[in-house]
Amino acid sequence: MAQPAGSPAGQQPYSNGPVQNELMHSPDGQEYSPAVPGSYSHQTPAKVPPHQSSGQYSYSGSQNVSQLNNYQGPGQTLNRPPVAAFSGSPVQQPGPVPQGLLSVLQNSAAVSSAGSFPPAASPPVLSNWQYSQTPVSQPLGAQTSHLACVPGTGSAQSPSSLSGSTNPAGSYQYAASPGAPPLQNSYVKPGSAPPPVIQPLTPLHPPRPPLGVPPVGGPPRPSTAVAGPPSTQFLLKSAANQEGDAMSAASDGSVVQNSYDAIEGGGLMAAPHYSPAAPNLKMNRSVGYSYPALPPGYQHTSPPGAPGMNASALQYPDGSKHFHQPALGTNHLTASMGGLSLQQEGLRPVNLLQERNILPTTLLKAPVPNLHEDIQKFNCNPELFRCTLTNIPQTQALLNKAKLPLGLLLHPFKDLSQLPVVTSSIIVRCRSCRTYINPFVSFLDQRRWKCNLCYRVNDVPEEFLYNPVTRVYGEPHKRPEVQNATIEFMAPSEYMLRPPQPPVYLFVFDVSHNAIETGYLNTVCQTLLDNLDSLPGNTRTKIGFITFDSTIHFYSLQEGLSQPQMLIISDIEDVFIPMPENLLVNLNENKELIQDLLKTLPQMFTKSLETQSALGPALQAAFKLMSPTGGRITVFQTQLPSVGMGALKSREEPNQRATAKDIHLTPSTDFYKKLALDCSGQQVAVDLFLLSGQYSDLASLGCISRYSAGSVYYYQSYHHKHNPVQVEKLQKELKRYLTRKIGFEAVMRIRCTKGLSIHTFHGNFFVRSTDLLSLPNVNPDAGYAVQMSVEESLTDMQVVSFQSALLYTSSKGERRIRVHTMCLPVVTTLSDVYLGADVQAITGLLANMAVDRSVSATLSDARDALVNAVIDSLAAYRSSVLSIQQPGLTAPYSLRLFPLYILALLKQKAFQTGTSTRLDERIFTMCQVKNQPLVYLMLMTHPSLYKVDNLTDEGALNVNDRTIPQPPLLQLSVEKLSRDGAYLMDAGSVMFLWIGKNCGQGFISQVLGVPNYGSIPQNMTHLPELETAESIRTRAFISWLREQRPFFPILYIIKDESPLKSSFLQNMIEDRTESALSYYEFLLHIQQQVNK
């Protein structure tokens, strides 16, 4: 397979920082010198997908993994696929460095980058520490230690003994992917290190100097305690300044691992390192928090059960004072669970048949965990990370009794206006389970911290004792890493398998007769032209184009050509890449040619009569072209693929749409799954834009995006003339898609406290090595969900924690790690479990599970399971929690909306029965359920209804000098509508403005700009920009709603006789519809089942 040539000589190295949003994009990002020598070269060995033998890939709807995500104690066996020698980056290996290894560290300094110091130079002093809002470019010191732990041994080994390298220092060979030969890029000569030494962990290590890179000349200096700041740089920036430079990686004396699993570090199933005696795990399992009231002086009180630790033994030769941290006892959880009004309200029984108006008038917020405010103030934002139960049951038996699902919903890469970004030579992680230090760890004293997931006691590295924010030495608990539940680290070279890849974008266009007829190519090419300069990237950004009908067309954009050159491949059975070096070209150097191509493409095929579509071969060609680098393929398709590999046949019969057993929700071929997994192995994601009026088998085509961590967009019946409102939707959504932040070659791992385990993942990704999610691309609009169980009793634990870590390459060429940590209390009674139920998160997780059930079993099975979830939980509450049996249907206040939300799911296009739903439309809605963050999923499931004919400024928000009215939410029932009013329904991806026949003349003329009701046009989709107060308020409110989401909802203005009125009424969840019960009938059905 031909490969594109390397980057042109003299090309600038990567500059840094992801684009938080297009407004914050700073065009003048500084340069970034990669931590590894040499620029990115296409001459590296081609990557191979991991283990393509049969049985290695999971094709199931949700990807199940064995329940290994819990801490494995001594003697427990691990059924885990073998991983590379490292269980994680060696950067945070605390403990003394064996003297024999110091020579190795010295040798490494000789080939280190700008991060080291010249011979005989001292490390920088206090003044060189930076804490600022602007990017600073400064060399870094080296990591504390270059020891790495071999899984399963618990022993530390030198880099050379692990890498097996026989190359001289400085030579590089990159194996591209897991499954390839081991990387050979160790900096140290074999045999230069003595056998590994394991030193027992004493209760407290004597203080050590900061371990920077030792000077090249001479032996290391004697150990002296340094009271000043260590030789490293720390940078904390707001998200707005993330375009700044990356710091050079922390040390070049480390080894680049050969698998992402090794890089990110094992989960809780990773074999523990050598740990102290067993009593350490029996210590009081407390959680750390910040101590605003404490003076800088440290006192120490012995934590209960800590062996051999008394205050008198803890003397610090460097004069640091002792450290006092009160252990987290019951006083730190909110005092008695039932004693506060909040708690009483949460458990108040609600008779659903009597209390009809239970829908809140404002959007429902996530419940606040029942934690002491000192801990809760650090907790993760529920928009990023939330749990279905904010009170975690102590045992699986208690969870089973509650009949509620336990799981997490994540939005890990969400656009954030403020994101602390940490640049430091050291990323502090637990030596055993590789958890990142976070606000919920415990500091036993100034020198040691206890992991809040596996309870291992770890040393605090010397560098971490200095707080760059307060410029005080000896306050590790006040560092930003311990003050923020969401934080982003700049990752050093240990977190790279290869130099960070450049942003590469390949666009694949369907140009068959059917595609040209829709007119989509004009819209897409024009939108691309308008946004070329806004594509996330830097001077190394590459771009390419492929078009296809029954043949495949490549476009050579070689420098020096006067116009793009078209190359046609007619042999679609064995696709090859002609002139690969000219097909993916540098965007900045070839911008004129690229612009010429985009201007001429829409006209090139106007006279084409070719009706066939060779999508499969076109995707194969795109994959071959992208394999050497990785990147993003964006494919536009308008019909069922008909020739070559991946050709499909129609499976939809409109008359059989209603029969839940016969609908085709499963793929008809595994071609697209297999190709997606090949793409995933090469760090390529595929995003699919389907613009089709006919059945296109999205169940099969969608797999190309699902398993490669891509996205699916669907524009039903797209046509530039017959359906012009779709044109605006495509323009707006494509602009967002092209300009939004993107992360490349990403992996994500979710860790949780010992005793809990994760067993099923939901979203678009491929599960690699049991619990590591492979995300070739990650975008800010993608959500994920996981199911969990309580594998071991959580006795003696008052709180548990969850942590997600997303390791990715930014579009500026930086390797970054975004970490979210959440802490929740553990409870022992059923009433407390119900008290902490998060009804929206429960609904979201059940929706994901129902999609899987629909695919693996039948749609009717999935619908039954959703109804049973309500029946079972309310029956359990009635029998086990209610002391006095009451007539009617009783639910705890926290679950009062549960039946309503489940009924809304049953009426959603993914799960509804009846002949009105097209198969592709149903599949697309299922794709959205699996890939949408919870907030958007809930809006599409249970729309918001507002009365808007009399908006006022009372209670209005003030956003960017705009006044945004906040009308109350109404129940989704026709009985709430009045013919005298106007009502806005926000259903997520679509909006309806319903005008009553007797609506006030003022609203019609001042907002709609027409003289009377009869003059309202039939197909009106825009509000005129009138200078009246009513018009300004209404448009401000609708614009504000649209800005809250990454997709563009079309606004349909409808009257009583509008054809779209049926769609509007279909969303009236509480009313009886085509084939579904009304809310009241549904409650009666639930009551009948509960009382059985």
Q: What is the pLDDT of residues 127-182, one digit of tens each?
A: 333 333 333 333 333 333 333 333 333 333 333 333 333 333 333 333 333 333 33
pLDDT digits (tens, 9 = 90+) for 62-92: 444 333 333 333 333 333 343 333 333 333 3
pLDDT for 1057 equals 86
What DSSP string runs through 60-74? SSSEE--S--S---T
pLDDT for 662 equals 55
Answer yes or no: is pLDDT of 191 > 60. no
CB 635 within 8 A of CB 508: yes
Among the residue ranges 266-270, 461-465, 806-810, the one predicted with the least confidence is 266-270
Q: Kindly state the average pLDDT of the residues 921-937.
A: 95
Q: Classify burial at 963, counting beta carbons within 10 Å of its beta carbon; exposed 0-12, middle 13-18, buried 19 or more.
A: middle
> Sorting pLDDT into bands at 50, 70 and 90, what band is 915?
low
Q: How many CB atoms lie within 10 A of CB 559?
A: 11
What percent of the chain shows pLDDT beyond 70? 68
Tell me which of 982 and 243 has the higher pLDDT: 982
> Sorting pLDDT into bands at 50, 70 and 90, what band is 580?
confident
pLDDT digits (tens, 9 = 90+) for 528-552: 999 999 999 999 999 999 999 999 9
Answer yes or no: is pLDDT of 249 > 70. no
Q: Give residues with Cβ within 8 angstroms of 191, minimum separation 6.
A: 160
How far lies 613's CA from each of 93, 521, 676, in Å?
55, 16, 19
Partnered with residue 962 across adjacent β-strands are 959
Question: Which residue from 748, 773, 63, 847 is spatially nearest to 405, judged by alpha carbons?
Answer: 847
pLDDT digits (tens, 9 = 90+) for 474-525: 888 889 999 999 999 999 888 888 899 999 999 999 999 999 999 999 999 9
pLDDT for 260 equals 66
Tell me which of 430 and 173 has the higher pLDDT: 430
CB 800 within 8 A of CB 752: yes
Answer yes or no: is pLDDT of 212 > 90. no
Among the residue ranges 187-191, 766-770, 872-876, 978-982, the one predicted with the least confidence is 187-191
Element (H, E) at 820: strand 815-827
Question: Which residue from 1025, 981, 1035 is spatially nearest to 1003, judged by alpha carbons?
Answer: 981
pLDDT for 266 equals 57
pLDDT for 153 equals 37
pLDDT digits (tens, 9 = 90+) for 550-567: 999 999 998 888 999 999
> Sorting pLDDT into bands at 50, 70 and 90, what band is 656?
low
Q: Output the average pLDDT for the chain.
A: 75
Q: What are phi and psi of 536, to 5 degrees?
A: -60, 130
What DSSP string runs through 524-561? HHHHHHHHGGGSS--TT-EEEEEEESSSEEEEE--TT-
Tell me which of 55 and 495 has the higher pLDDT: 495
How far lies 411's CA from each of 364, 426, 749, 785, in Å?
18, 26, 13, 9
CB 815 within 8 A of CB 491: yes
Stated pTM of the model: 0.73
Q: Kindly state the average pLDDT of the residues 947-954.
A: 92
How far lies 134's CA from each of 15, 21, 324, 489, 741, in Å?
15, 18, 35, 16, 20
> Sorting pLDDT into bands at 50, 70 and 90, what band is 258?
very low
pLDDT for 189 equals 34
Answer yes or no: is pLDDT of 1001 > 50. yes
Per the document, the length of the chain is 1092
Tell me which of 653 and 166 has the higher pLDDT: 653
pLDDT for 96 equals 39
Tell me which of 803 and 463 has the higher pLDDT: 803
Where b means 16+ CB within 10 Å and e means fewer, 59-86 reads: eebbbebebbbbbbeeeeeeebeebbbb
Q: What angle do CA 778, 782, 784 make, to 5 degrees?
A: 105
Q: What does the alpha-carbon distance between residue 117 and residue 891 come to, in Å, rounded to a whole number?
A: 66
pLDDT for 659 equals 52
SS3 letters across 911-955: CCCCCCCCHHHHHHHHHHHHHCCHHHHHHHHCCEEEECCCCCCCC
Torsional sign, CA 762, 636, 46, 7: negative
Answer yes or no: is pLDDT of 50 > 50. no
Q: Kindly state the average pLDDT of the residues 875-898.
A: 90
pLDDT for 887 equals 84
pLDDT for 884 equals 81
Q: Kindly state the average pLDDT of the residues 669-684.
A: 96
Q: What does the alpha-carbon distance between residue 665 and residue 922 come to, in Å, rounded to a whole number?
A: 9
pLDDT for 196 equals 38
Q: What does the alpha-carbon distance between residue 986 and residue 967 come to, in Å, rounded to a whole number?
A: 13
- Amino acid in the structure at residue 212: G
pLDDT digits (tens, 9 = 90+) for 775-791: 999 999 999 999 999 99
pLDDT digits (tens, 9 = 90+) for 274-310: 333 333 333 333 333 333 333 333 333 333 333 333 3
Q: What are phi and psi of 346, to 5 degrees?
A: -65, -30
Answer yes or no: is pLDDT of 355 > 60. yes
pLDDT for 470 equals 81
pLDDT digits (tens, 9 = 90+) for 624-651: 999 999 999 999 999 999 999 999 998 8
pLDDT for 83 equals 34
Q: Kindly state the average pLDDT of the residues 570-580.
A: 89
Residue with tokens 């030495």: 473
> Sorting pLDDT into bands at 50, 70 and 90, what band is 28?
very low
Structure tokens at 294: 């404490």
